[in-house]
């Protein structure tokens, strides 16, 4: 596949409501999109790095810089690159997994569109729709939280995930469980605790949670293994899982019983499929996490979430959960599910007028190789 050039596009997307976690509050997203242009068409990828290096070491300005200076030139230097070659050629550059994932996704989308192949079929999906959960940020008060959860359940979401941090954990979880009964309920700490706070985390055990996500720092896999022996709630790892090898190591150490797979965090959809395969081989269920993606990233996530090992509802929420106006045709919840796009590639395209209205900058990088 010959690449004519690659466009980097920044878009500003205000959120429907502020989204607060243990590492800060977001009111809008500065999103980096990648468009790969070939003689046969184009492909899109979305970089999920945040504006500041809080969730991970990556941030959107840094992603744009490393793509422009290193990653894109390395890919366009390949003769007729395909997605399987992108990971290999980018492997010599350390880190920057979210930037790599976005570039690989755009190349893969272009490749599959030209071949007329849906991403879901390419990855090995077994379903045409996926059950959806919703992530609920830290609120100002428990009554505000209960109102929010009530609204999401009324919309049909099949699983509720509560963000927690020290001081906002047992009380809100108890309130949600008492108010809404036997719903699928899980919590996400975003690495806000230490092993010394194991007793506080064990206090969540009576609430029959589906899982406790990433309670400790991402590099403390051994600590998670120790914590897993101290609490009954299944430990799920998120930030700690950066590759299939990391997943295999965490499983072998007993650090987790469930894995959250985010394609951007592991370097792309091909590595995400490898993480899925490792977990499935070890009998470890997985689910698809989210990074407040637009319809471009959401479409690709839905294709991934339709693989057989994804047994829990993920964070593949409807477009309206985060954005008043998505840059693609919006994804709308239907009986607690979203459809897996069936068209070639990721199966969706940006709406030109909407995309232009939220674009803050564009950079065209021609393939100087010819």
| Residue 163 appears among annotated catalytic residues | yes
Residue 91's pLDDT band (cuts 50, 70, 90): very high
- Average pLDDT over every residue of 97-125: 98
Percent of the chain with pLDDT over 90: 95
| Residue 362 appears among annotated catalytic residues | no
pLDDT at position 217, please?
97
pLDDT at position 275, please?
98
Asked if 344 and 115 touch (Cβ cutoff 8 Å), the reply is: yes
Catalytic residue among 100, 161, 262, 362: 262
Q: Which of 99, 77, 92, 80 is nearest to 33 (CA)?
A: 99
Catalytic residue among 100, 161, 163, 362: 163
Query: pLDDT of 267-311, one tens digit each?
Result: 999 999 999 999 999 999 999 999 999 999 999 999 999 999 999
First to last CA, the chain: 13
Asked if 233 and 205 touch (Cβ cutoff 8 Å), the reply is: yes
pLDDT at position 110, please?
97
pLDDT at position 22, please?
85
Residue 60 has pLDDT above 60, yes or no: yes
d(CA 290, CA 99): 16
pLDDT at position 1, please?
84
CA count, 13 A, side-chain hemisphere, 39: 4
Asked if 211 and 190 touch (Cβ cutoff 8 Å), the reply is: no
Strands 133-136 and 159-163: parallel
72 by Cβ neighbours in 10 Å (0-12 / 13-18 / 19+) ranks as buried
Residue 370 has pLDDT above 70, yes or no: no
Query: b/e per residue, 134-156, with b = 16+ CB within 10 A?
Result: bbbbbbeeeeebbebbeebeeee
Return mean pLDDT, the chain.
Answer: 96
- Global pTM reads 0.96
pLDDT at position 23, please?
83
Residue 189 has pLDDT above 90, yes or no: yes
Residue 369 has pLDDT above 70, yes or no: no
Poorest-pLDDT segment among 79-88, 154-163, 261-270: 79-88
């Amino acid at each position: 596949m010959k690449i004519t050039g690659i466009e980097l596009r920044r878009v500003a997307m205000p959120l429907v409501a502020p989204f607060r976690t243990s590492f800060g509050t977001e009111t809008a997203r500065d999103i980096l999109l990648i468009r790969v242009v070939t003689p046969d068409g184009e492909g899109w990828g979305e970089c999920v790095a945040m504006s500041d290096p809080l969730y991970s070491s990556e941030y959107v300005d840094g992603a744009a810089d490393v793509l422009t200076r290193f990653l894109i030139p390395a890919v366009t230097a390949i003769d007729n690159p395909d997605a399987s070659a992108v990971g290999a050629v980018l492997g010599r550059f350390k880190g920057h997994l979210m930037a790599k994932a976005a570039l690989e996704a755009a190349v893969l989308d272009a490749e599959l569109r030209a071949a007329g192949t849906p991403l879901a079929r390419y990855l090995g999906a077994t379903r045409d729709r996926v059950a959806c959960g919703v992530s609920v940020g830290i609120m100002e008060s428990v009554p505000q939280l209960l109102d929010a959860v009530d609204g999401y359940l009324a919309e049909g979401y099949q699983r509720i995930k509560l963000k927690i941090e020290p001081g906002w954990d047992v009380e809100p979880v108890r309130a949600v469980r008492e108010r809404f009964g036997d719903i699928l309920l899980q919590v996400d700490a975003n690495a806000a605790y230490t092993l010394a706070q194991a007793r506080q985390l064990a206090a969540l055990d009576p609430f029959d949670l589906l899982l406790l996500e990433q309670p400790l720092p991402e590099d403390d896999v051994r600590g998670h293994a120790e914590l897993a022996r101290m609490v009954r709630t299944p430990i799920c790892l998120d930030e700690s899982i950066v590759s299939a090898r990391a997943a295999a190591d965490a499983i072998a150490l007993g650090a987790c019983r469930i894995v959250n797979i985010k394609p951007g965090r592991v370097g792309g959809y091909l590595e995400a499929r490898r993480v899925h395969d490792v977990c499935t081989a070890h009998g470890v269920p997985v689910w698809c996490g989210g990074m407040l993606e637009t319809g471009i990233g959401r479409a690709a996530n839905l294709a991934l979430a339709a693989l057989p090992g994804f047994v829990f509802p993920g964070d593949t929420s409807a477009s309206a959960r985060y954005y008043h106006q998505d840059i693609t045709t919006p994804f709308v919840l239907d009986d607690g599910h979203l459809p897996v796009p069936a068209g070639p590639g990721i199966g969706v395209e940006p709406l030109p007028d909407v995309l232009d209205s939220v674009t803050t900058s564009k950079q065209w990088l021609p393939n100087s190789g010819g």
